[in-house]
Amino acid sequence: MPHVTVEDDTEVFVRDLGAGDPIVFLHGWPLNHRMFEYQYHRLLDEGFRCVGIDLRGYGKSDKPYGDYGYDRFADDVRAVLDDLDLEGVTLAGFSMGGGIATRYMSRHDEARVDGLALLAAASPVITEKPDFPEGLDEAAVNPLIEGARTDRAKMNADFGETLFHTDQSDEMMDWIWSLGMEASGQATVASARTWRDADLRSDMDDITVPTKVYHGSHDEVTPIEITGEVLADGIETAELIRFENSGHGLVADETERLNEELVSFAD
């Protein structure tokens, strides 16, 4: 199981599968790269190389106490892409991973990336700002943080119930819960504060590669009106693709459609 050592000697786990044009996946909070299992199946069959990163604090990566800001995450992604010497990457970020991808494109001048796929992205702004009253009230987010501090198992179960628009099996929900429980508690709390407070609007101006914004119309976590539509308007090269039968978890709500879209975009 390969790891990449990043700048502060943290070991970041990387699942590198297949050959061909690379698609690099950045998972959402509080999960890990395994959430993309049903994307890997199809994309590998289509001849793509799938690279899944467990962000620091999550999955099989090291879980240091400390910084879980977007700059740190973006620098870790750069270290992985450099270590694997990837070129022509399609960078696919889901939820918090979409925020990390947005920051990466600006902070690292789109290095090694030829296409950007933002899936239900927690970007560019989630909560209210003085000049963005459309955002969510922090009071809607803070219970997740407090829950992670006091009863993370219950918080993960409750959060899982908000992810999907279509019915999922009990076994699927148990699996999603188990992925969240692989994270460290401190990373779960600290990175939730990151995506709660971030303002990535200025980063959008630096994105020039072809960009697809895939977003569920019924998303209750990152509502399309304050995220997907704003990204599509703010990134000159972006196209918004609405998933009319999806909530936040479009990877499971409309798996086959999303897979078709990714195959077409990354080809």
Helix (H, G, I), strand (E, B) or coil at 4: strand
Q: Give, as one character, the DSSP assignment of residue 239.
A: E
Q: Which of 27, 33, 248, 253 is catalytic?
A: 248
The strand pairing partners of 24, in sequence order, are 51, 91
Pairing between β-strand 3-5 and β-strand 11-17 as defined by DSSP bridges: antiparallel
Question: Is 184 among the residues known to form the active site?
Answer: no
CA distance 236 to 250: 24
Q: Which of 21, 75, 203, 219 is catalytic?
A: 219
Q: Which of 61, 95, 184, 191 is catalytic?
A: 95
Cα–Cα distances in angstroms (integers) from residue 66 to residues 8, 9, 22, 169, in the given order: 11, 13, 31, 36
Question: Is 219 among the residues known to form the active site?
Answer: yes
Question: Is 27 among the residues known to form the active site?
Answer: no
What residue has token string 């999550």? 58
Measured over the CA atoms of residue 241, residue 246, residue 249 and residue 250, the dihedral's sign is negative
Which residues are designated catalytic?
95, 219, 248
